[in-house]
Amino acid sequence: MKNLGKAESRQVTSFPSPYGNAPIPKKQVLKYKRADGVELSANLYLPSGYKKEDGPLPTLMEAYPTEYKTRTAAGQMRGSPNEFPFLSWGSPVPFVTQGYAVLENATIPIVGEGQAEPNDTYVEQLVASAQAAIDEGARLGVVDRNRVAVMGHSYWAFMTANLLAHSNLFKAGIARSGAYNRTLTPFGFQNEERTYWQAPEIYYKMSPFSYADKIKTPILLIHGEADNNTGTFPMQSERLFSAIKGQGGTVRFVLLPLESHGYAARESVLHMYWEMNNWMSKYVKGTPQ
């Protein structure tokens, strides 16, 4: 709290760590711009005890593309350095305990101003945003740009596969419960209101399945066997796995029994983390478990 007319500030609240005596990773909210000037942000987590002289770290990036009609709205700041980490079942933050830097919730605004629709340039804005996040982490000296993995769940998984299809920014990808062929969701998806028949070229270009022959970066696909979300039936992962495998790519497909769109069983979540850690150890760190 700051007293009006005085320069000093004093703390008025003090909350105990919800994690007890466990070491908490260092958190920093980054603010940076991508090449077209749109403002971006991300939460950076570093291992407890990390020092700058330790050098850049292998990195796991999680991001979520969101549609906007103006650059001003797209550039809104998110996150706070004063929040405790929130560890949901699918969070990337636990990977700081394995020696990774984590870029969590890196913003990827997909902007379509005026008569343009955001998804008209989805791929270009997707790649530019990911490039900006990696560049900022490398500028700070904490991200090893040659050892970065990208992960996502659902629409984030769709993003992950597209980033691997259209860029060489990453050493590995992890996509959970995603949709990869947009012709299988022909009446719209996410905030895309046009049907397949109104914008077939958009559906084709935004489908990583269309570019399965370009996905040469190792990708781990995970899906719940009983996924009842209408846009992400397990067939989406099954077909992408077959396509990448058939084109000579490096891919692994894990089907979690009895799980729906979000994973609930302790055994499923622990197995998911085991698969993810093994994948990144092998293809990002280069040290198979």
Nearest to 61 by CA among 48, 42, 37: 42
DSSP state at residue 189? B
DSSP-derived pairing of the beta strands 26-33 and 39-46: antiparallel
DSSP string, 16-81: --TTTTSPPPEEEEEEEE-TTS-EEEEEEEE-TT--GGG--EEEEEEEEEEEESSHHHHT-----T
* CA atoms of 266 and 8, how far apart (whole Å): 48
Residues in Cβ contact with 75 at an 8 Å cutoff, skipping those fewer than 6 apart: 38, 39, 40, 109
* CA atoms of 203 and 207, how far apart (whole Å): 6
Catalytic residue among 154, 177, 207, 237: 154
* CA atoms of 176 and 179, how far apart (whole Å): 9
Catalytic residue among 153, 166, 223, 261: 261
The tokens for 85 are: 């980490």
Active site residue 227: yes
Question: Is 213 in contact with 167 (CB distance < 8 Å)?
Answer: no
Residues in Cβ contact with 143 at an 8 Å cutoff, skipping those fewer than 6 apart: 56, 57, 59, 101, 103, 134, 136, 137
DSSP-derived pairing of the beta strands 101-111 and 143-153: unpaired
Catalytic residue among 129, 153, 227, 268: 227
Active site residue 144: no
Q: List the catalytic residues.
A: 154, 227, 261
